[in-house]
Amino acid sequence: MTDALLSIEGLTKRFGGVVASDNIVLDVNRGELHAIIGPNGAGKTTLIGQLTGELAPNAGRIRFDGADITALPVYRRSTLGLARSFQITSLFLDFTALDNVALAVQAHDGHSFRFWRNARSETGLRQAARAALERVGLGARAEVMVANLSHGEHRQLEIAMALATKPRMLLLDEPMAGMGLEESARMVGMLRELKRELTILLIEHDMEAVFALADRISVLVYGRVIATGAPADIRANPEVRTAYLGEAEAAHG
Amino acid sequence: MTALLTPRNVFIVALIALLALLPVYALLTGHTFIVTLFTRIVILAMAAVSLNLIMGFGGMVSFGHAAYIGIGGYVIGILAKEGIGSGFVQWPLALLVSGLFALSVGALCLRTRGVYFIMITLAFSQMIYYVAIGLDRYGGDDGLTIQKRSDFGAIFDLSDRTRFYYLCLVLLLITVYLLRRIVNSRFGLVIQGGRSNERRMRAIGFPTFRYKLICFVIAGMLCGLSGVLLANHTNFISPAIMHWTRSGDLIVMVVLGGMGSVFGPVIGAVALLVLEEALPYAIGFASYLIVGKEVMGAREYWQLILGPMLLLIVLFARGGIDGLLMRARRD
Amino acid sequence: MLYFIEQCLNGIQLGMLLFLLAAGLTLVFGIMDLVNLAHGSLYMIGAYFAATFAAWTGSFVAGAVLALGASLLVGMAVEVTAIRRLYGRDHLDHVLGTFGLILFFNELVRLIWGPAGMTLSLPSQMLSAVQVLPGVYYPVYRLVIIITTLVVALLLYVLVMRTRVGMLIRAGASNREMVGALGINIKLLYTLVFGLGAALAGFAGLMQAPILTVQIGMGENILILAFVVIIIGGIGSIRGAFVASIIVGLIDAVGRAFLPDLLRLFLSNNAASTLGPALSSMMIYMLMAAILVFRPEGLFPAANR
């Protein structure tokens, strides 16, 4: 019996002559927070695309809790418990924060072929949505139009929507992108809490956050995983240092 | 209570009241043609309202919606010609056929989006247009005369002009109410979410395709109903009603009235009529002012104004009349 | 058999006309990302100009050349006054705005030329038929259409693939902002492209005028065929438009001619005569539907969109 909730087996993706994903092998164990780091252009977006189902791999398999999900459409993966947040905020801008999250709740609350009752009056949906908003710290902003929320609040909302789908695993694509120091610290705190009950695959550039949160780190360079291990091991790994951390260390001073 | 008395709500109630009292006015003044005219407006308003379900709320810009008016109408016409005059058979069959056509076309078109979708809905409606032209037995290019309106026996007599008008008006208002409920239901929120951000909808777990398809079918059926009414109203159906430029007219009604609400297109349909009648007078008057006398035929060229006006609306007043009304509330 | 060859030639001729229309449409869409429903109006205007100028000058060719120039000018004028305000907006806006232009142009033509339509007659040399294959006689003029359109297609190819302007066009199609950032006058480029599209449409309009029609609203029907061609060929691809136009032209001509007879093999005479024309008009759309199912990006999808 495997400990891995998500198992990536030899995933390969080619775009014309470019190999964006080169035989990626990676496991995310139950309950761990597994971070993926790598320089720009390493293929993180392509990897996420294949994990969520928006891109079809040329070769390889993806297993979620033992089941082969490689060919499953995007929405089915969400139903199975794999939730994602977007790197570039992707929300329903002309609705309120509450409406946004309530939709995510609704997606996992039976079918939506209901044509008569006003969905905004369904207390079950609204309460679950409010709970998710509270969890990420947006409780007070529930009735605000998403277009009027700040960037940091958008990132929080992304997490809330992922949580609202009652996931078993979170796929977070640079949740801290564009955040200031204070907001990042808050996000780290929240992720630390979430880590206790959910398996998380975290793609991030923010090294402090990664090393503060990750149980294991995988390093992606030119579409290949060059190292996987505990944060301390990764820090010490010479290949990693040259390929990636060298630049990052210089940037962080 | 005063919160309900917004400019917009007052306007809508007034418009409904106007439509309801129209036959009384016609009776008093003897201008019975007004009832005939407005029956047509009400029927087209229903078609426009059905279009807005997929267009304004679903984000699916269909340039082939007028085809369903034709389909509904032709079912009535063909059945009547073949000797089946009972409304109890004709009407449900018309709705069924409209729904099936929407299902097939939708299943193909909804695989595309954006401009492809527009072009493909356009193409399919032209296809149906040419098929109708090819049906020599049912009039072909000249159209098909329908001798008798749908027969509902003792329950309802469609041949009386005023009664028929009220039937159409009631059906329109029921349609508006139904759609209001649908738009705010779980189903409606899925449709609106799909318009807002379809990628997001799939990411949170919605199989968006099937919802859009059902929405397309509902809109198609409602539009088919308007076709049924139109065929009865004019005792005639022809391929011309299905030409893609008629779909364009429907889109104009929707945008002019306002895509953001269910009632908007009703405003648009009435406004378009008002423009059709009033613009020629305005042009005549303007030419009188400018040239000193009314230029012969100046009124006829109102479409010359309508074209650029449409462009201006697109550029500066996308929310349509309803949008302007809603903004009036905030001031 | 001879009849079949004749119908094939008709199909190719129709396809060539469609290509002229589709090429303009697909250029404008590929480069400016604009859906131009009024393209059919430019086709109509080309025909009207040709009829008028031919009547003034007494020469078909002179009329055609002048009409071509006039179409180019009208196209550029429309771009500068109306079309350019639509760039960057969503496709519904394009569709509405250009639909408004259709209404405007139909009325304008009615105002200037009257509602009755016009005729354009051919010079006497082109009125006869020529033997293309043993036993097969084909009208000279239709051959002229095929040949001139092929020449135009070739010129278009050379323009887009071999000249600097063409390079800008192709660059603009893949990356608009970049071309603008390079200091190229993108506004002028767009105006020229739109003008080119208008000239192509006008050319199609004037070429078909002697054998088909010159009347108000003539663009609206053929425009849809042009859209079908683009969908089948792939939006933004001129090569796709060329191949698809020929396919569509052939299916339409040959289908219309032979389907009723084919049906008669299976159905009663009555049924075949009823269904025949209806089905043959559907065939092109069935092909389009098939493409949508099996290869939605078209036969020759342009690089990136």
Q: How far is B46 from C26, CA to CA, in rounded Å?
A: 35
CB-based contact B196 A74, cutoff 8 Å = no
Range of the domain at A97: 93-166
Residue B328 in any domain: the answer is no
Best probe of the C interface among B112, B124, B127, B300, by most C CBs < 10 A, is B127
Where does the pLDDT of residue A35 fall: very low under 50, low under 70, confident under 90, or very high at 90 and above? very high
Residues 6+ apart with CB under 8 A from C114: none
What the block records as the tokens of B257 is 């009235």
B100-B104-B110-B116 Cα dihedral, nearest 10 degrees: -120
Nearest to B228 by CA among B308, B146, B312: B146
What the block records as the tokens of C263 is 């049906």
- Three-state SS for A56? coil
Q: Report the range out of A89-103, B123-137, C27-41 with the highest average pLDDT.
A: A89-103
What the block records as the tokens of A158 is 């992304």
Q: How far is B93 from B70, CA to CA, in rounded Å?
A: 14
Any long-range contacts for B160-166 (C-beta under 8 Å, 24+ apart)? B161/B32, B161/B35, B161/B36, B161/B39, B162/B23, B162/B26, B162/B27, B162/B35, B164/B39, B164/B232, B164/B233, B165/B22, B165/B23, B165/B35, B165/B38, B165/B39, B165/B42, B166/B23
Predicted confidence (pLDDT) at residue A114 exceeds the cutoff of 50: yes
Sheet of A18-29, strand order: A18-29, A4-15, A59-64, A67-68
Query: Quick one: A59 and A5 in the same domain?
Result: yes
Residues of B in contact with C289 (CB under 8 A): 108, 124
CB-based contact C99 B119, cutoff 8 Å = no
- Three-state SS for A145? strand
Query: Quick one: A60 and A185 in the same domain?
Result: yes
Q: Report the range out of A1-15, B205-219, C23-37, C214-228 with the highest average pLDDT.
A: B205-219
Q: What is the pLDDT of residue A143?
A: 94
- Three-state SS for A250? helix
Q: What share of chain C is helix, strand, coil (3-state, %, to 5)?
A: 75, 5, 20
**Chain B, chain C: beta-carbon pairs less than 8 Å apart:** 132
Q: How far is A28 from A35, CA to CA, in rounded Å?
A: 9
Last residue of a domain, one of A166, A196, A230: A166
Residue B322's alpha-carbon distances to B110, B262, B267, B278, in angstroms, are: 28, 10, 7, 20
Q: How far is C228 from B262, CA to CA, in rounded Å?
A: 32
Q: How far is B35 from B37, CA to CA, in rounded Å?
A: 5
What the block records as the tokens of C215 is 């009347």
Nearest to C229 by CA among C90, C24, C7, C42: C24
Last residue of a domain, one of A115, A143, A166: A166
Q: How far is B203 from B227, CA to CA, in rounded Å?
A: 38
Q: How far is B31 from C297, CA to CA, in rounded Å?
A: 55
Q: How far is B265 from B249, CA to CA, in rounded Å?
A: 11
pLDDT tens for C107-149 read 899 888 888 888 887 777 777 777 777 777 788 888 888 889 8
Residue C263 parent element (H or E): helix C238-264
Locate tokens 């996308």: which residue?
B318
Residue A171's alpha-carbon distances to A49, A234, B11, B32, in angstroms, are: 11, 21, 50, 67
| CA closest to C109 among chain B residues | B304
Q: How far is C1 from C211, CA to CA, in rounded Å?
A: 24
Using a threshold of 3 CB pairs under 8 A, tell whether chains C and B touch: yes
Residue C63 and residue C119 in contact, taking contact as beta carbons nearer than 8 Å: no
Query: The domain that contains A203 carries what CATH number?
Result: 3.40.50.300
Which amino acid, C251?
I
Residue A2, sorted as left (phi over 0), alpha (psi -120 to 50) or beta, turns out to be beta
Query: Quick one: A98 and A121 in the same domain?
Result: yes
Q: What is the pLDDT of residue A253?
A: 43
The neighbours of chain C, by the rule of 3 or more Cβ pairs under 8 Å, are B
Best probe of the C interface among B110, B116, B135, by most C CBs < 10 A, is B116
Q: How far is A74 from C180, CA to CA, in rounded Å?
A: 37
Q: What is the pLDDT of residue B135?
A: 83
Predicted confidence (pLDDT) at residue A6 exceeds the cutoff of 50: yes
E strand residue ranges, chain A: 4-15, 18-29, 33-37, 59-64, 67-68, 82-85, 169-173, 199-203, 216-221, 224-229
User: Please, what sign has the CA dihedral across residues B92, B93, B94, B96?
Assistant: positive
Nearest to B258 by CA among B274, B246, B269, B273: B269
CB-based contact A99 B202, cutoff 8 Å = no
Residues 6+ apart with CB under 8 A from C181: none
Query: Quick one: A175 and A238 in the same domain?
Result: yes
Mean pLDDT of A12-31: 91
Which amino acid, C289?
A
Minimum distance, in Å, between the CA of residue A29 and any CA atom of chain B: 23
Last residue of a domain, one of A144, A166, A188: A166
Total number of domains in chain B: 1
- Residue C277 sits at the chain B interface (C-beta within 8 Å): yes
* Terminal C-alpha separation, chain B: 18
pLDDT tens for B133-164 read 888 888 888 999 998 898 888 888 888 889 99
Q: How far is C26 from C41, CA to CA, in rounded Å?
A: 16
CB-based contact A78 B204, cutoff 8 Å = yes
Total number of domains in chain A: 2
Touching B: C residues 147-176, CB under 8 Å: none
CB-based contact A92 B196, cutoff 8 Å = yes
Q: Tell me the average pLDDT of chain C.
A: 84
Query: Quick one: A74 and A186 in the same domain?
Result: yes
Residue C279 and residue C271 in contact, taking contact as beta carbons nearer than 8 Å: no
Q: What is the pLDDT of residue C111?
A: 85
Residues of C in contact with B120 (CB under 8 A): 231, 288, 292
Nearest CB to A91 within list B187, B200, B205? B200
- Residue B104 sits at the chain C interface (C-beta within 8 Å): no
pLDDT tens for B222-261 read 999 999 999 999 999 999 999 988 999 999 899 889 888 9
Range of the domain at B31: 2-243
Q: What is the pLDDT of residue A149?
A: 94
Percent of chain C scoring above 90 in pLDDT: 25
Query: Quick one: A162 and A172 in the same domain?
Result: no
CB-based contact A165 B185, cutoff 8 Å = no
Query: Quick one: A16 and A59 in the same domain?
Result: yes
Residue B284 in any domain: the answer is no
CB-based contact C282 B130, cutoff 8 Å = yes
CB-based contact C274 B309, cutoff 8 Å = no
Residue B18 in any domain: the answer is yes
Residue B307 in any domain: the answer is no
What the block records as the tokens of B151 is 């027969």
Where does the pLDDT of residue C174 fall: very low under 50, low under 70, confident under 90, or very high at 90 and above? low
Query: Quick one: A100 and A162 in the same domain?
Result: yes
Q: What is the pLDDT of residue C274?
A: 66
Residues of B in contact with C97 (CB under 8 A): 310-311, 314-315
Residue B282 and residue B203 in contact, taking contact as beta carbons nearer than 8 Å: no
Where does the pLDDT of residue C305 fall: very low under 50, low under 70, confident under 90, or very high at 90 and above? very low
Q: Which residue has the higher pLDDT, A247 or A169?
A: A169
Minimum distance, in Å, between the CA of residue A81 and any CA atom of chain B: 9
Most distant CA atoms of chain B, gap in Å: 67
Q: How far is C103 from C43, CA to CA, in rounded Å?
A: 14
Query: Quick one: A214 and A132 in the same domain?
Result: no
E strand residue ranges, A43-113: 59-64, 67-68, 82-85
Q: Tell me which DSSP letter residue A8 carries.
A: E
Q: Tell me the average pLDDT of chain B.
A: 89
Which phi and psi angles does A4 have, rounded to 5°?
A: -85, 130
Burial class (CB in 10 A: 0-12, 13-18, 19+), A180: exposed
Query: Quick one: A48 and A173 in the same domain?
Result: yes
Residues of C in contact with B116 (CB under 8 A): 231, 235, 296
Q: Tell me which DSSP letter residue B287 carries.
A: H
Touching C: B residues 110-129, CB under 8 Å: 111-112, 114-116, 118-120, 122-124, 126-127
Q: Tell me which DSSP letter residue A73 carries.
A: -
Query: Quick one: A6 and A110 in the same domain?
Result: no
Residues 6+ apart with CB under 8 A from C66: C49, C50, C53, C57
Locate tokens 């794999």: which residue?
A82
Mean pLDDT of C57-80: 91
DSSP letters, C125-151, are GGGSEEEEETTEEEEHHHHHHHHHHHH
| CA closest to B136 among chain C residues | C274
E strand residue ranges, A57-213: 59-64, 67-68, 82-85, 169-173, 199-203
Best probe of the B interface among A69, A92, A145, by most B CBs < 10 A, is A92
Encode burial over B107-131: b for 16+ CB neighbours within 10 A, e otherwise: ebbbebeebbbbbbbbbbbbbbbbb
pLDDT tens for C79-101 read 999 888 888 888 888 888 898 89
Minimum distance, in Å, between the CA of residue B275 and any CA atom of chain A: 32
Using a threshold of 3 CB pairs under 8 A, tell whether chains B and A touch: yes
Minimum distance, in Å, between the CA of residue C288 and any CA atom of chain B: 9
Q: How far is B126 from B119, CA to CA, in rounded Å?
A: 11
Residue A56, sorted as left (phi over 0), alpha (psi -120 to 50) or beta, turns out to be beta
Q: What is the pLDDT of residue B305?
A: 80
Residue A160 in any domain: the answer is yes
Q: What is the pLDDT of residue B330?
A: 54
Query: Quick one: A130 and A56 in the same domain?
Result: no
Mean pLDDT of A146-168: 93
Residue B174 and residue A73 in contact, taking contact as beta carbons nearer than 8 Å: no
Nearest CB to C288 within list B115, B123, B248? B123
Most distant CA atoms of chain C, gap in Å: 68
CB-based contact C285 B127, cutoff 8 Å = yes
Minimum distance, in Å, between the CA of residue B199 and any CA atom of chain A: 8
Nearest CB to A119 within list B189, B197, B199? B189
Residues of B in contact with C227 (CB under 8 A): 119, 122-123
Minimum distance, in Å, between the CA of residue B234 and any CA atom of chain C: 25
Percent of chain C scoring above 70 in pLDDT: 94
Residues of A in contact with B53 (CB under 8 A): none
Q: What residues in chain B have per-residue pLDDT under 50?
A: 331
Mean pLDDT of C149-173: 82
Minimum distance, in Å, between the CA of residue C33 and any CA atom of chain B: 9
Predicted confidence (pLDDT) at residue A249 exceeds the cutoff of 60: no
Percent of chain B scoring above 70 in pLDDT: 94
Nearest CB to B182 within list A104, A115, A122? A115
Residue C199 parent element (H or E): helix C186-208
- Residue B298 sits at the chain C interface (C-beta within 8 Å): no
Residues of A in contact with B204 (CB under 8 A): 78, 83, 103-104, 107, 161, 164-165
Predicted confidence (pLDDT) at residue C169 exceeds the cutoff of 80: no
Q: What is the pLDDT of residue B316?
A: 82
| CA closest to A163 among chain B residues | B204
CB-based contact B122 C227, cutoff 8 Å = yes
Minimum distance, in Å, between the CA of residue C127 and any CA atom of chain B: 31
What the block records as the tokens of A36 is 């993926």
Q: What is the pLDDT of residue B210?
A: 95
